[in-house]
Amino acid sequence: PGGLRNVVSVAGTMHDAAGQAQIVVLILNHDKAGAGRPVIDAVLQWVSRPAFTAPLPAGAAPVATR
C-alpha cells in the first residue's frame, strides 16, 4: 500500500438540509495540509446548510454551482 504525504482529503456523498445527496471532493496538497482541516470542516458544514445560503468560509471557493 502506498500513501501521499502532505495531503488531506475527503470525498463522498452527503445530504444537504433539503435531504438531497451532494457529491463532495476536497483535496489539500501542501506542506502544511493538516492546518487546512478546519477549512474542510467548514465547507462540509456549508454544504449541509439549506440551499448553500450561507457565505463560503474564508479562503474557500466553489469550482461549480448547482
Residue range 17-51, pLDDT digits in tens: 888 888 999 999 999 999 999 999 998 988 888 76
Phi, psi of 15 (to 5 degrees): -100, 140
Altogether, the residues listed in the chain come to a count of 66
Distant-in-sequence, close-in-space partners of 58: CB < 8 Å, separation ≥ 6: none
pLDDT top residue among 66 and 59: 59
Residue 38's closest CA among 28, 30, 48, 29? 28
Write down the pTM of the prediction.
Answer: 0.65
Confidence of residue 66 (pLDDT cuts 50, 70, 90): very low
Query: Which pLDDT belongs to residue 62?
Result: 61
- Whether the per-residue pLDDT at 16 is higher than 80: the answer is yes
C-alpha distances out from residue 10 to 47, 51, 53, Å: 13, 21, 22
